[in-house]
């Protein structure tokens, strides 16, 4: 997972890392939940909402379309209601409720969360690269696992208690309790999916989380704060990658005053980064002469990050 403040290079590093791993022969999926479709931009291909698309051999990219997922989710709920209660048509009041619920912001979040769980639990790739949305939001997603889990646990418990009463009632009424069983099974399945995915995402053996930073004051301050919060959610922080470092050889050349100031400023913050994060800094990545889009720039970025082996 690549995380960090907005616009510092998460998508760039995700794409380059995926590219590099694919070059090493691994089957890789790079995915994002970003509605801005930045993987489409960097790979210069429209992949939004199209599932996993193969970009080059072994390298797959996927952009989740939350709205599409919500519509599918609504349909599944309708079908489940029809199945469970043996109806031909979803009752109007329930249909209204389904529509209203879909408009809630929480619905979008849970649809996204659900898709991420699908991807992570699904298997099929050697590596998954999760190109996160900017910090605050990413934290929110990660915290959802535990919030959901607590909520589901409560509901499941209630259901189980209800079922005990229902069983007594059923014995009295000589009825079978199949619908209660289905709801409970559904809840248990959700719990299983949440627990499996959050245990993968917080497992130090399986998951690595990298912070992207740049040598600027605000980026350093925000990252420090975020790092403290992330550790609360047991995100396995593996280190920092410093992006947009101006080439040092410029210092010895005839350069405009403006550029010299920028170099000096960066030097100050690089020193600060060294003091704060020390050997947790895994790489310094240069600022290129242009933005990183298209496979050729991605390849150059991979080389800058991992060395010339690609």
Q: Which residues bind ligand ATP (CB under 6 A)?
A: 4, 6-12, 34, 38, 134, 243-244, 285, 287-288, 291-293
Instruction: Name the token pair of 101.
Output: 């619920």
Dihedral angle sign, alpha carbons of residues 130, 232, 141, 159: positive
Contacts of 300 (CB under 8 A, 6+ apart): 288, 292
Q: Are 245 and 281 in contact (CB under 8 A)?
A: no
Smallest distance from the beta carbon of 5 to Mg ion, in angstroms? Answer: 11
User: Which of ligand ATP, Mg ion, none has residue 134 at its interface (CB below 5 to 8 Å by kind)?
Assistant: ligand ATP
User: Which of ligand ATP, Mg ion, none has residue 287 at its interface (CB below 5 to 8 Å by kind)?
Assistant: ligand ATP
Smallest distance from the beta carbon of 199 to Mg ion, in angstroms? Answer: 26
Residues 35-54 binding Mg ion (CB under 5 A) are 38
Smallest distance from the beta carbon of 16 to ligand ATP, in angstroms? Answer: 9
Closest CB to ligand ATP among 6 and 51? 6
Closest CB to ligand ATP among 42 and 190? 42
Closest CB to ligand ATP among 34 and 114? 34
User: Which of Mg ion, ligand ATP, none has residue 129 at its interface (CB below 5 to 8 Å by kind)?
Assistant: none
Q: How far apart are CA 281 and CA 120, in angstroms?
A: 27
Closest CB to ligand ATP among 11 and 23? 11
Q: Are 109 and 140 in contact (CB under 8 A)?
A: yes
Distances in Å between the alpha carbon of 10 and those of 57, 92, 300?
A: 23, 45, 16
Smallest distance from the beta carbon of 224 to ligand ATP, in angstroms? Answer: 17
User: Is residue 69 a contact point for Mg ion (CB under 5 A)?
Assistant: no
Closest CB to Mg ion among 148 and 222? 222
User: Which of ligand ATP, Mg ion, none has residue 57 at its interface (CB below 5 to 8 Å by kind)?
Assistant: none
Beta-strand ranges (E) seen in the chain are 2-3, 28-32, 53-56, 59-63, 127-131, 209-213, 237-245, 281-286
Closest CB to ligand ATP among 7 and 122? 7
In DSSP terms, 245 is beta-bridged to 286
Helices (H) and strands (E) in the chain, counts: 10, 8
Smallest distance from the beta carbon of 238 to ligand ATP, in angstroms? Answer: 17
Smallest distance from the beta carbon of 17 to ligand ATP, in angstroms? Answer: 12
Closest CB to ligand ATP among 287 and 303? 287
User: Which of ligand ATP, Mg ion, none has residue 6 at its interface (CB below 5 to 8 Å by kind)?
Assistant: ligand ATP
Smallest distance from the beta carbon of 286 to ligand ATP, in angstroms? Answer: 6
Contacts within 8 Å (CB) and 24+ apart, 286-293: 286/244, 286/245, 286/246, 286/247, 287/243, 287/244, 287/245, 287/246, 287/247, 292/12, 292/15, 292/16, 292/42, 293/41, 293/42, 293/44
Helix residue spans in 86-216 (DSSP H): 92-102, 105-122, 135-173, 178-201
Among 2, 8, 11, 43, binds Mg ion (CB under 5 A): 11
Q: Are 116 and 33 in contact (CB under 8 A)?
A: yes
Binding interface with Mg ion (CB under 5 A):
10-11, 38
């Amino acid at each position: 997972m690549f995380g960090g403040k907005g616009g510092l290079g998460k998508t760039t590093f995700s794409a380059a890392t995926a590219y590099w791993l694919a070059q090493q022969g691994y089957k890789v999926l790079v995915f994002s939940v970003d509605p801005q479709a930045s993987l489409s931009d960097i790979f210069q291909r429209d992949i939004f909402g199209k599932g996993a698309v193969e970009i080059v051999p072994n390298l797959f990219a996927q952009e989740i379309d939350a709205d599409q997922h919500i519509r599918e989710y609504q349909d599944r709920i309708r079908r489940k209601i029809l199945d469970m209660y043996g109806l031909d048509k979803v009752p109007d009041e329930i249909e209204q409720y389904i529509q209203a619920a879909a408009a809630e912001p929480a619905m979008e979040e849970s649809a996204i969360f659900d898709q991420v769980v699908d991807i992570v639990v699904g298997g099929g790739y050697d590596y998954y690269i999760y190109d996160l949305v900017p910090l605050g939001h990413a934290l929110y997603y990660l915290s959802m696992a535990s919030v959901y889990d607590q909520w589901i646990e409560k509901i499941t418990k209630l259901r189980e208690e209800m079922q005990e009463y229902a069983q007594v009632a059923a014995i009295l009424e000589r009825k079978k309790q199949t619908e209660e069983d289905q709801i409970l099974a559904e809840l248990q399945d959700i719990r299983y999916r949440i627990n499996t995915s959050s245990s993968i995402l917080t497992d130090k053996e399986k998951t690595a989380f990298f912070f992207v930073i740049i040598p600027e004051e605000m980026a350093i301050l925000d990252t420090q704060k975020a790092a403290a919060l992330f550790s609360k959610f047991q995100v396995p922080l593996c280190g920092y990658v410093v992006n947009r470092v101006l080439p040092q050889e410029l210092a010895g050349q005839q350069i405009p005053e403006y550029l010299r100031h920028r170099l000096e400023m960066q030097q100050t913050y690089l020193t600060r980064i060294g003091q704060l994060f020390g050997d947790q800094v895994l790489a310094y990545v240069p600022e290129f002469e242009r933005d990183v889009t298209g496979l050729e720039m991605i390849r150059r970025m991979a080389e800058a990050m991992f060395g010339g082996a690609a």
